[in-house]
A and B are shown apart, each in its own frame.
Chain A
């Protein structure tokens, strides 16, 4: 049986939830599928308060924001949520397949589809990087912030971008020691306010440093770090072994674009956005007219921008389906999100994103 639906959203993170809400607000029936145990994606693991302004819920912690969006969604009768459901493919006839709870095979044919699949952690290519105890930063957050499990006793954080810095601080809050944060770049990539908190806690942030080796019999026991020169070459004599049982990898994310590729959406490699991403217009519509994209799947950024992009996409999808709104209403509402997004991207990190967007955003 093929389930015919108006709007199908793949991915229940901030982008997917916001887009679904926009659809529902405009009277559209929305089905959302998500492979996680709980709706909310990475949002519900974020214990820190967001920056920005009111429209993207700044000053609110991700965990609270996740709950709030969830409550709003479940208030709608025409909202169908299918959790523990993994989208497995997109077919030529516009059918999206999925498997629910590893048992039930499902087929959907939506009139409009949002791909809000998020991103996957990039692995580290060094000896023994597959040992138990080498975890992605998002996975560490899941263990400690969602389920109250201590991920280790003493951690080494790889990467001082926002995720590395934030998760290092969250490790300290959970009661895991942090031996150091290492960053191969000569300076940190994330916000200074997060770095300052870590430094105040006495954890060194070692820029121009990288990890060379991991040792342990069947789990991580120690890691070797080294200073690097301007060309990323390790400087002999600066190697140091750290006794750690957890190596937290925060060296970047890759957009999860499988469905976009299968659907034949035009893709481009944009390093500023984390890899291959879909060409889209200002409505977040891809080159396949009924397929829209939002959040990290469109380019690696932050929860706040995912929320705003979800809003833009959801609104455009509702209009695509003929929801009652005048052109000027649509333009006005979409512009609100765009203005916020432009403000949010005003800083130095946003500048890079804007450079990347020039390569895939078509007018």
Chain B
């Protein structure tokens, strides 16, 4: 969900782009972190933890905690909190460590 009214800030949500999460089309704002767009769409679980397979979500937003590692356009271990959203991106939950190509 987006903030509709704010006493101090004004947001520009006009640059809407489509992307795919687990194959499902979704919309976000171009250039915002992929994680922000997912959050707006109600996607809270971004990956499973490596050992215990526990659900992991957004946490630090500064690219440090590894909680938000996802697969983007086939590439694993992308820190979606600091990677900007582009039209047509294919974003998937990451399971395990991912594989280097």
Chain A residues near B (Cβ < 8 Å): 35-37, 47, 61, 63, 84, 86, 102, 118, 120-121, 123, 130-136, 138-139, 142-151, 173-175, 218-219, 256
Output the least CB separation between A57 and chain B (Å). 17
A133-B44, A143-B36 are known contacts. Are A148 and B9 too (CB-CB below 8 A)?
yes
Once the chains bind, are A173 and B62 in contact (CB under 8 Å)?
no
Which residues of A lie under 8 Å from residue B67 when comparing CB positions? 130
Residue in contact with B57 in the complex, picked from A132, A148, A175, CB distance below 8 Å: A132
- Interface on B for A, CB 8 Å cutoff? 1-9, 11, 13, 29, 31-33, 36, 39-40, 44-46, 49, 54-65, 67, 75, 78, 81-84
The reply to whether A132 and B45 contact each other, CB–CB distance below 8 Å, is yes
Q: How many pairs of residues, A versus B, come closer than 8 Å at their CB atoms?
A: 116
How far is A74 from B1 in the complex, measured between Cα atoms in Å? 34
> Given the complex of chains A and B, what is the CA–CA distance between A128 and B7 in angstroms?
34
Some 13 contacts from A to B, beta carbons below 8 A apart, are A37-B31, A102-B83, A121-B60, A135-B61, A138-B60, A139-B81, A142-B33, A146-B36, A149-B1, A173-B8, A174-B3, A175-B3, A219-B57
Could you tell me if A138 and B1 are in contact, using CB atoms closer than 8 angstroms?
A: no
From A35, A61, A121, A174, give the contact of B6 (CB < 8 A). Answer: A174
Extra pairs beyond A131-B55, A133-B44, A139-B61 (15, CB < 8 Å): A37-B31, A84-B84, A120-B64, A132-B56, A135-B57, A138-B61, A139-B58, A142-B61, A143-B58, A145-B9, A148-B13, A149-B2, A150-B3, A173-B8, A218-B55
Interfacial chain B residues near A102, Cβ < 8 Å:
75, 78, 83
Partner of A147, one of B29, B60, B65: B29
Q: Which of B45, B57, B81, B83 has the most CB of A within 10 A?
A: B57
Chain B binding surface SS class:
loop
Are B57 and A136 in contact, with the CB atoms below 8 A? no
- Inter-chain contact B84/A218, CB cutoff 8 Å: no
Residues of B within 8 A of A121 (CB): 59-60
Question: Chain A CB within 10 Å — which of B2, B58, B75 has the most?
Answer: B58
In the complex, residue of chain B having the shortest beta-carbon distance to the beta carbon of A132? B57
Contact status A139-B60, CB under 8 Å: yes
Name B8's contact: one of A61, A123, A143 (CB within 8 Å).
Answer: A61
Q: How far is the CA of A318 from the CA of B6 in the complex (A)?
A: 42
A218 touches B39 (CB 8 A): no
Specify which chain A residues have a CB less than 8 angstroms from the CB of B63 in the assembled complex: 35-36, 86
Inter-subunit contact A47/B82 (CB<8 Å): no
